[in-house]
Chains A and B, each alone.
Chain A
């Protein structure tokens, strides 16, 4: 068992190193180069700088890229976390509800339409509704609600997929024949498998939250890491671009590992 943990940890480490190298490759674009050799030298210089903990300087603010990103990242993180909490609150009941055929028939088509609406369109529609229909009553929670809705939509499909995967498992009939009740089987064996399957996709869930957070920051002019990224991309501030991308990628990769770890513990630790 410890082998699988070691292997996954090694994979995470290698992925993070790969992400650093990509960040170096982008950061190297901030230095002038006239040919491939020049770029190669810039790349080597970037790698050395990052190993020494130097992430470059923003050409926009003239501050260290690390300073700018460190200031902006907590805002993004906070928005993503609150969105995640909203996603769990909305998505889990919705997913459970939609495992029932009648509910799926009733709500499914509506969900299909809602899922087809791009996040930025949903943002604008909800802003319109908030201002025109409620008199701006939800202004404070709207960003978190939008991020949460995107996350909830994804979470409920994960739940339904996981539920479909275990629904026809032969052990459900076998254990019922042996004398366990359906509820006992579902609570002891089916539920941990469903939760494990959902946890296994935790990285993808985090990616959905971060993507929605980026759009929300832009629309609501929230000074988070995504807004910093958009501004830096306009001005080709590669040091900041590289660092922001590295942070986002790392969060997703670490979330993948955490999700795998929880899933692994859930199925291995079943009594």
Chain B
């Protein structure tokens, strides 16, 4: 297994690793709460703005300031979170099903089919995920950008799962089990159960970090959900026109996005600088 697919360097102690994961999961939980209560927490409906209070910096009245159209940045950020997070979760579910789980199961195919599958997915995974997502978005249509992002994130999840599962399938303990008549289905179930038990949170959080960044990047580049739906990427894209003077239009949605990714990385216990 290459070090690109190997486990990250361990944290300084299992306890610290657990604390990091708990903080990560806690943070993600907070975001889920924000999504559920977005209409209650946000002081204004999505998109509501008054030109009379345009471009106001953060102050007691508008905590995060207002943008060029007079929209409350705090309110817009909450609504954008309520769009970005569910989209990312759906995309992550697609990536896990077609990537992580499929990768695990693909190792059990006949050898030539297994090799061919790995090779084909490897070629697809050689394209930057953002390019793949854009192509899939163009093929599937704008309304399915979330599915496109999930499909684009699937190859890297597939490859990681496949490489791990291959190590297990070729292992001495699999041979030992085979020699004592343990059925292949039991071995597959054993691998899946232990992988899920040990790594599901890591895998899911890692994929979530990838899909939220991917969706935000797509929106930023103009390929995401269409107006008037604004996710965090679209908010940041809209801020490009004015962020040099009105820094708050960029900083707060960027912070919201970064914190979500940070919590997801912590839940996955990803190393510093490690790509999801």
A residues neighboring B (CB under 8 Å): 11, 14-15, 18-19, 22, 26, 29, 98, 101, 104-105, 108, 111-121, 124-125, 127-128, 131-132, 152-158, 160-165, 197-198, 200-201, 203-204, 207-208, 210-211, 214-215, 218, 229-230, 233-234, 236, 241, 244-245, 248-250, 252-253, 256
Contacts and interface: CB of A to CB of B under 8 A. Distances in A.
Interface residues of B, number: 53
Given A15-B126, A214-B128, A248-B131, A124 B254 contact: yes
A8 B217 CA distance: 34
B134 A121 contact: no
A153 B273 contact: yes
B274 A252 contact: no
A225 to B, nearest CB: 10
B220 A115 contact: no
B62 interface: no
Contacts of A132: 244
B236 interface: yes
Nearest to B9: A164
Contacts, number: 161
B271 interface: yes
B12 A120 contact: no
Contact of B8 (A22, A117, A161): A161
Nearest to B214: A118
Specify the main secondary structure of chain A where it touches its partner: helix
Interface string B221-240: 11100000000000010011
B165 to A, nearest CB: 19
B6 interface: yes
B157 interface: no
B140 interface: no
B126 A253 contact: yes
Interface in B230-263: 236, 239-240, 243-244, 247, 250, 254, 257-259, 261-262
A198 B265 contact: no
A165 B134 contact: no
B142 to A, nearest CB: 11
A120 B217 CA distance: 7
A252 B122 CA distance: 10
Contacts of A114: 272-273
A233 B3 contact: no
A207 B130 CA distance: 11
Which has the most chain B C-beta neighbours within 10 Å: A121, A152, A230?
Answer: A121
B10 A164 contact: yes
Given A114-B272, A121-B257, A204-B4, 6 more contacts: A18-B123, A113-B258, A118-B258, A154-B273, A157-B272, A207-B126
Given A15-B122, A157-B273, A253-B123, A29 B139 contact: yes
A89 to B, nearest CB: 15
A97 B262 CA distance: 22
A244 B4 CA distance: 25
Given A121-B236, A128-B250, A234 B222 contact: yes
Contacts of A121: 236, 254, 257-258
9 contacts: A114-B272, A114-B273, A115-B272, A116-B258, A116-B262, A128-B247, A201-B3, A210-B128, A249-B126
Contacts of A215: 130, 217
